[in-house]
Structure 1
């Protein structure tokens, strides 16, 4: 479960320090290498809820093995890629290949809770959050080490042994589906009938159009936004009429707490990923650090995020975690606005240290919120939707980073990006302060822990 769920964050973050070396090696500007980030998130944002629904219907084992096997294929393609186009294709494969790990893990936690009658998964959920946050934060450092030893292609080749290990462990340890999964039909034919392929297709059209618009914000691309709105309207009509919808809008629309959690995830990850990619690019181009040292500069965030996740995972409730996480993002953005190319190195380390607090709190609190707020029969697809909203936030962050930096990641661009991050962080704080439903999650968490 842990290994499968970290395949996505490791590929999300390891490329942060590889963008500049790839651009230099392939003669591509920052506006083009940004597609290496966008391609993975486009594929993953689309794939997570789809694969999550398949996990709900067919169980986690089959989807886990198929997806993690695809990760190895993508690693080979990326390591041997002759140009940027093939490299972007490899990132798309990685996006689809890493879709099953997290939804499968959440589904297994839910099924184990129902098997034992003990709905108290705090320790496992904390372990998942810590593993994902650890890998996400250590990704730039790991990427810097791999680039120093084997060049940027090593960041893709890493996926081959990880895929082999994940598939081997999945074959040995994941339980076989001897009966229909929770919420699924007893027969395969019935499960296929419940896939709602038209709904998935309309959802894909809506999301792809929206993300393509966000990747390169410009008025000339207004038609993409219009296409996304039209596909969204058709999707809503289809799902409201479908007997077994892909995303049950009736249930989701009546679940205001879950919708609020998705909204918080979107704005929280705008800040997190703008920092991860934008700040890292600036430390290399605007401050002059090597890829290895740029990753090394984020060690304070790595260490503090682990400690914060472990300690906060023992406490009940999510509201306090969300509020402190929002405050940490606001404080970090304020420090970024003071940075220049001549700033002392300790100030960069301070920014990373401050960001370690929200890095360790936000993902854990959002994950726990979804677990308690979602329909148990749709745990995997609800977890997938959480990741989808996070990736939409990452796409907004990618678009903001590209617009702020242009052809070069200079200090002026970093400050423009910091203002965008600050606005998103303030919105995250407001969404948390005025959400009274969070008290219900805290109360339920207390009851189940007791």
Structure 2
């Protein structure tokens, strides 16, 4: 039997890397640089902090809702047009924000930024999957690792970049920076992204606009109430629940649903991945936002000192991601990552007081970095293995939505526990919450027997494809 060796044409098209990676920067850079611009913006418009904080919430809400919507558009029309439209929206929002005459316009620009920047990730995952199918490399772990590392690096440099932009060009520069980044995406996307990819090769599909509408109303109703939990807004989750029922009825009857609930309900491994993602991001955000607040208010560190204590976390996370990125042990990564989260939570519970040595705090930060480097990477790889290739865009969008839900849950919990300030008692109560969530994440990882099967199946397919004829590039 003659084995036909793979030819160079069967390797991953590296021309896709530039638009994919720059697109991956857009959302995290806007998430991180706003932290240092909130106070100058509030001063500029003579607004209270309670109003300025909507600059953060608007981006989270728009992105959480927009991710699966953008993903469904990717599945229906292909990655290229959705990617380019998202970049154009980002550029437009950057321009509007740069010259915004009021805080309300600025918040609106942030919402449009959220919608524009959320297109890149589902487009990237769809392209990676399409290339994996074309080349026979069912799990291009190197590219998936680069996506995670890119976001981690931006998380490190984002606040510093924001500070430089504010010092040099004022707070408006934090909006203006989106324009050259988005234009770079438009140029690179127009030149290098395939005009016809796997999604469009199957023909255009009808869009379930009514289903998308009910989904948006349901998600916004719950998320806005969680963001601003007031008795006067208790009607919002009620509306959200009714919209969720209408959404479920619609999707069960629709021939081409926005989210195929029957398929999703039957894909228990993917549902478990979504829940683990929610849990992982909840603990991660609780550490980054809650624990760091306590470092200043409870431990007595300056903002710059508290910020420096995050550097070991992000640096360790990047190193761990790079070292383990090409290894396919998804369950091992999830278990070790969850154990690291439990260790951090218990350490905060037992050791946090106003005299905790800095060396102990650095040790906690390093262990937190281990979980940062493993959990997101492992869940992303699991998503790649478990999602229906025909719906990779929508599946990737929902993956990100669950992450943002974790951020919002963390904001609600820390707001309740730190009502009178980030005290030592409050951070210890937060640590109990973190321990419970991390423990649930560990239990899910241990119980999910499909993780090992998914990896073995992916490896067998990859070996079979590499031993056979390279697949032709679709739409080339």
The two structures have a TM-score, normalised by structure 1, of 0.89
User: Is the Cα–Cα contact under 8 Å of residues 338 and 439 in structure 2 kept in the other structure?
Assistant: yes
Instruction: Tell whether 2:155 aligns with 1:142.
Output: no
**1:402 partner SS:** helix
User: How many Å apart are 1:219 and its aligned residue?
Assistant: 4.7
Question: How large is the RMSD of aligned CA atoms in angstroms?
Answer: 2.6
User: Is the Cα–Cα contact under 8 Å of residues 144 and 294 in structure 1 kept in the other structure?
Assistant: no
Higher Cα Rg, which structure = 2
| Aligned CA distance change for structure 1 residues 420 and 159 (closer, same or farther; 3 Å) | farther
Bigger mean CA offset, 209-218 vs 382-391: 209-218
CA distance in 2, matches of 1:23, 1:416: 31
| Aligned CA distance change for structure 1 residues 421 and 184 (closer, same or farther; 3 Å) | farther
Say which of 417, 422, 445 aligns to 2:430: 417
User: How many Å apart are 1:250 and its aligned residue?
Assistant: 1.0
Q: What corresponds to 2:199 in structure 1?
A: 182
Q: Which residues of 2 match residues 169-208 of structure 1 at below 5 A? A: 169-177=188-196, 181-182=198-199, 185-186=202-203, 190-191=204-205, 194-208=206-220
Say which of 425, 432, 454 aligns to 1:441: 454
Say which of 305, 316, 326 aligns to 1:304: 316
Say which of 245, 249, 274 aligns to 2:257: 245
User: How many Å apart are 1:234 and its aligned residue?
Assistant: 0.9
Q: Which residues of 2 match residues 68-87 of structure 1 at below 5 A? A: 68-87=87-106
CA distance in 2, matches of 1:143, 1:340: 31
User: How many Å apart are 1:449 and its aligned residue?
Assistant: 5.2
Structure 1: any 5+ residue segments left out of the alignment? none
Instruction: Tell whether 2:340 aligns with 1:321.
Output: no
CA distance in 2, matches of 1:22, 1:150: 13
User: Is the Cα–Cα contact under 8 Å of residues 137 and 301 in structure 1 kept in the other structure?
Assistant: no
User: Is the Cα–Cα contact under 8 Å of residues 9 and 132 in structure 1 kept in the other structure?
Assistant: yes
Say which of 45, 48, 63 aligns to 2:82: 63
User: How many Å apart are 1:313 and its aligned residue?
Assistant: 1.0
Q: What corresponds to 1:334 in structure 2?
A: 346
Instruction: Tell whether 2:182 aligns with 1:163.
Output: yes
CA distance in 2, matches of 1:355, 1:16: 21
Q: Which residues of 2 match residues 30-45 of structure 1 at below 5 A? A: 31-45=50-64
CA distance in 2, matches of 1:411, 1:284: 11
User: How many Å apart are 1:53 and its aligned residue?
Assistant: 0.7
User: How many Å apart are 1:129 and its aligned residue?
Assistant: 1.7
| Aligned CA distance change for structure 1 residues 198 and 244 (closer, same or farther; 3 Å) | same
The two structures have a TM-score, normalised by structure 2, of 0.85
Q: What corresponds to 1:216 in structure 2?
A: 228
Instruction: Tell whether 2:151 aligns with 1:123.
Output: no
User: Is the Cα–Cα contact under 8 Å of residues 74 and 199 in structure 2 kept in the other structure?
Assistant: no
Say which of 69, 72, 83 aligns to 1:50: 69
